């Protein structure tokens, strides 16, 4: 460790200028990729799979189709990347929640499943059910997201999964939240949802002890 410290500022004097020279280009590339992912998510949520072509996404992102294909060679690459981005945003939103009571955590989990990020992910699930090329990629991704969401939910709820029924209680909560997200696609059921969430918060408190 002592050998690394002094070498940091002086052992490779040429590395700093090279890094500086490439940083603006790398930053632009990252910014373009980010715009494409955000545009793909928005297009999926608003227009569904059929209306979300690479050209439509590129136009919305303000880049050329060629630039879009440089970052994402195929349509499947673009939208799988978009759902991975959605998944990361969902996980980041969960991890950013402060230490709250269980009722607030339940409500926050439901909010994630009733917002635009979940709506966009759902559009890709529908597409994957009909697109053989897309299905294995989305299935693998969603399995990983599901495990991550469950892990974070367990942590936020302070659930002891060695306790009988605790794991199933968390799984039931996430299934319920997903169902409310599906119902919210057609109608705004905010008032009814609030009552359901309050009841589930009580059930979770009882189930987790």
Are 206 and 173 in contact by the 8 Å Cβ rule? The answer is: no
What lies within 8 Å, CB to CB, of 37 at 6+ separation is 81, 82, 85
Per-residue pLDDT reduced to its tens digit, 164-182:
999 999 999 999 999 988 8
CA distances from 39 to 9, 55, 161 (A): 41, 11, 39
Written as tens digits, the pLDDT of the chain (209 aa) is 433 333 444 444 444 444 444 567 788 889 999 999 999 988 887 888 888 899 999 999 999 999 999 999 998 899 888 878 877 887 787 778 767 789 999 998 898 888 877 887 888 788 888 878 778 888 888 888 889 889 989 999 999 999 999 999 999 999 999 998 888 888 877 888 889 999 999 999 999 98
**Whole-model pTM?**
0.72
Are 148 and 95 in contact by the 8 Å Cβ rule? The answer is: no
The C-alpha atoms of residue 105 and residue 150 are separated, in whole angstroms, by 13
Kindly state the DSSP code that residue 2 receives in the 8-state scheme.
T
Local structure of 54: helix, strand or coil:
helix
């Amino acid at each position: 460790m002592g050998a690394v410290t002094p070498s940091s500022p002086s052992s490779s004097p040429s590395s700093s200028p090279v890094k500086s020279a490439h940083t603006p280009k790398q930053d632009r590339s990252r910014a373009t990729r980010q715009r494409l992912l955000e545009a793909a998510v928005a297009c999926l949520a608003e227009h569904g799979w059929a209306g979300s072509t690479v050209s439509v996404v590129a136009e919305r992102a303000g880049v050329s189709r060629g630039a879009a294909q440089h970052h994402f060679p195929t349509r499947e690459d673009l939208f799988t990347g978009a759902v991975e981005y959605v998944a990361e945003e969902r996980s980041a939103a969960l991890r950013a929640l402060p230490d709250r009571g269980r009722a607030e955590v339940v409500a926050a989990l439901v909010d994630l499943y009733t917002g635009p990020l979940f709506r966009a992910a759902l559009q890709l699930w529908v597409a994957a059910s009909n697109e053989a090329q897309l299905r294995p990629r989305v299935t693998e991704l969603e399995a990983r997201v599901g495990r991550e969401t469950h892990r974070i939910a367990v942590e936020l709820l302070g659930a002891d999964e060695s306790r009988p029924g605790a794991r199933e209680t968390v799984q039931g909560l996430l299934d319920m939240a997903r169902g409310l997200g599906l119902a919210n696609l057609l109608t705004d059921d905010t008032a009814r949802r609030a009552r359901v969430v309050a009841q589930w918060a009580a059930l979770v408190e009882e189930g987790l002890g």
